[in-house]
Structure 1
Amino acid sequence: MTDDYAAIVSAVIAAVLVLGFVETHAFLHMGSEHAKNALAEGLAAKADAMRNIDAGIAPSEAQLARLAAMDTRASRARTAASGQLMAAGCVWIGLVLALVAALCLVVLWAAVDGHGPARWLAIYSSFCAALGVFGVALGALARALQPLLGAFRNYLRAERFELDMDPQKAAELQRHLAEYRRSHPAPAPAEPGTAP
């Protein structure tokens, strides 16, 4: 290992550590936003049912079904999210330990006057740096694809909902929707180049 190589690999490892911590922070922030949204949706459903109870009316079957579905969905989401978070956290901690160890060993090697070639250190630091770059890139890609995967999951849920829907109720819903559209016509599209 040369002094130039030690400087390069140290800079790469330091950059990977910084980028990794930024990605981890963004990942945790995204997870907390998802949890806040799910909690708000659940509280809105409970508040809707509680308004009926406050008025002395039993919650409707639709309200109860919504609450039951949300409880099940929230439980599954919490289980999946905690499992994913644990797995990602363990991988990241292992990678950070390997990167910090490589960085410390390279710094110690550079500190020794008249240091030897240390081929094993060159191989280990190269492997750790490459693994770190791959991990950070994979994490960034996963975070970037998360909204797309969420939209696809919602599409599949909507498809399943329509398949499970009673055909008579589906026809009634379409009739109500058609009546609403007739009584509330959509505004005409604006001409290009004019203000709406």
Structure 2
Amino acid sequence: MSDDYAAVITTVILAVLAVGSVQTYTLVRRLRDAMVEWVAEAVDARSRVVVALRAAQPPSPDDLAKVDALTRPDAAVRRLTPAYVASFVWLAVCGVLVYVQIRVLKWAGTHHPEKDPDLAELAFYVCTVAVGVLVIEGVIRGVAGLVGRMRLMRTEITNTRPSDEELAEFNNSLDRYRNERSGEPPADPTQRL
């Protein structure tokens, strides 16, 4: 460990700590908001079930499903596990970074400190893992967002699947639009949707 290395590693640690602190706060807030929303939906659904039963009408299956999910802990665990895990990971990373930073500051604060290769190595590996977590989390969030968007699109496509007649009219409309726009002859029928 040298003074220059201590300065560099301190900069990296503080940068990752700043990001990690924001991430931890954001994830914990998101977790809290998801819990509150989940419970509020279930409580509202329970109220609608009670109102329906008092009116001698069958309750909505969606409302029953929400009430059922509230009474089963496994549903909460499945829904909230990603946020719990991410919060815990960032909390652990920040904790280790703080520990290493305190050791580096203690080393730097000693009068004529001896070279401490073990501390330098520890600081290097901790910073490498912390930056790796930072990068991996960004990739995971990006992929998860993309997968979620693709699932939503798949559901929309499945729910709006046209009949054969509608599909033929759709293709004819598309051909007319293309012809009007480009002035070209109709497209090859094998290239239709």
TM-score w.r.t. length of structure 1: 0.63
Number of residues paired by the alignment? Answer: 160
Q: Does the aligned pair in 1 maintain the 2:12–2:127 contact within 8 Å?
A: yes
Task: Describe the shift of the 1:52–1:85 C-alpha distance in structure 2 as closer, same or farther (beyond 3 A).
Answer: closer
Which residue number in structure 1 is paired with residue 64 of structure 2? Answer: 68
- Please give the residue correspondences for 1:177-196 in structure 2 after superposition, counting only pairs within 5 Å: none
Extract structure 1 runs of 4+ deviating beyond 6 A. none
Does residue 5 of structure 2 align to residue 5 of structure 1?
Answer: yes
Higher relative contact order (CA 8 A, sep 6+): 1
Please, which moves more after superposition, 146-155 or 87-96? Answer: 146-155
Q: Which amino acid aligns with 1:32?
A: R
Which residue number in structure 1 is paired with residue 131 of structure 2? Answer: 133
Q: Does the aligned pair in 2 maintain the 1:42–1:67 contact within 8 Å?
A: yes
Q: Does the aligned pair in 2 maintain the 1:9–1:125 contact within 8 Å?
A: yes
Q: Deviation per CA, 1:5-29, whole angstroms, max 9, x where unpaired?
A: 1111011111211211100111122
Which residue number in structure 2 is paired with residue 92 of structure 1? Answer: 90
Which residue number in structure 2 is paired with residue 35 of structure 1? Answer: 35
Which residue number in structure 1 is paired with residue 57 of structure 2? Answer: 58
- Please give the residue correspondences for 1:77-88 in structure 2 after superposition, counting only pairs within 5 Å: 77-88=75-86
Q: Distance in 2 between matches of 1:70 and 1:22?
A: 32
Q: Distance in 1 between matches of 2:149 and 2:68?
A: 20
Task: Describe the shift of the 1:143–1:135 C-alpha distance in structure 2 as closer, same or farther (beyond 3 A).
Answer: same
Q: Distance in 2 between matches of 1:107 and 1:155?
A: 52
Quote the sequence identity (%): 23
Please, which moves more after superposition, 71-80 or 106-115? Answer: 71-80
Task: Describe the shift of the 1:28–1:143 C-alpha distance in structure 2 as closer, same or farther (beyond 3 A).
Answer: farther
Q: Distance in 2 between matches of 1:53 and 1:86?
A: 36
Task: Describe the shift of the 1:30–1:93 C-alpha distance in structure 2 as closer, same or farther (beyond 3 A).
Answer: closer
- Please give the residue correspondences for 1:168-183 in structure 2 after superposition, counting only pairs within 5 Å: none
Q: What stretches of structure 1 of length at least 5 have no aligned partner?
A: 163-173, 175-196
Does residue 122 of structure 2 align to residue 124 of structure 1?
Answer: yes
Q: Distance in 2 between matches of 1:150 and 1:35?
A: 20
Q: Which of 95, 111, 114 pairs up with 1:113?
A: 111
Q: Deviation per CA, 1:62-116, whole angstroms, max 9, x where unpaired?
A: x1x2233224555444112454454444433432332122111211221222223
Task: Describe the shift of the 1:109–1:130 C-alpha distance in structure 2 as closer, same or farther (beyond 3 A).
Answer: same
Offset, 1:141: 4.2
Task: Describe the shift of the 1:94–1:38 C-alpha distance in structure 2 as closer, same or farther (beyond 3 A).
Answer: closer
Q: Distance in 1 between matches of 2:108 and 2:151?
A: 51
Q: Does the aligned pair in 2 maintain the 1:52–1:58 contact within 8 Å?
A: yes
Task: Describe the shift of the 1:46–1:155 C-alpha distance in structure 2 as closer, same or farther (beyond 3 A).
Answer: farther
Q: Does the aligned pair in 2 maintain the 1:95–1:132 contact within 8 Å?
A: yes
Task: Describe the shift of the 1:53–1:68 C-alpha distance in structure 2 as closer, same or farther (beyond 3 A).
Answer: closer
